[in-house]
Amino acid sequence: MDIDKCQIINLPRIADARGDLSFIEERKHVPFDIKRVYYISNVPNGSTRGGHANKDTEQMIIALNGRFRVRLRETNTEKTFVLDRSDRGLYIPQGIWHRIEDFSQGSIMLALVSSFYDEKDYIRDQACAHTENKE
């Protein structure tokens, strides 16, 4: 786990008079094989999502519509990213605590994930996040 590996990845964007087209290819634009895709929408004002780390899962988060902020934490280091473009994704490696907040009205968050859902992969206690991943 290394918070410095969290980074914005620019995705291809083809723009013309008909609109923008972006695409994502695993292992080319995303540094992992995609096993799961999920999206979050209709987030009530003031609500947060995430609030956990993953032991083995990597993910890329993209703002398909609207704007939101992603707060990352590893031990005593924090980073914050604002996502507001559909042609940019935030790569989050395993072991990094993340919380998504400040959703604008109409936001849609897309997540590309390296594993199938498994509750045992989640670290829900922030105080334990950095120690559980070092084992």
Return the active site residues: 52
Please answer whether residues 24 and 18 qualify as being in contact, where contact means their C-beta atoms are separated by less than 8 angstroms.
no
Query: What is the rounded CA–CA span in Å between residue 124 and residue 71?
Result: 15
Q: Enumerate residues 6+ apart whose C-beta is below 8 A from 118.
A: none
Query: What is the rounded CA–CA span in Å between residue 8 and residue 100?
Result: 15
The whole-angstrom distance between residue 61's C-alpha and the CA centroid of its chain comes to 3
Cross-strand partners of 101: 69
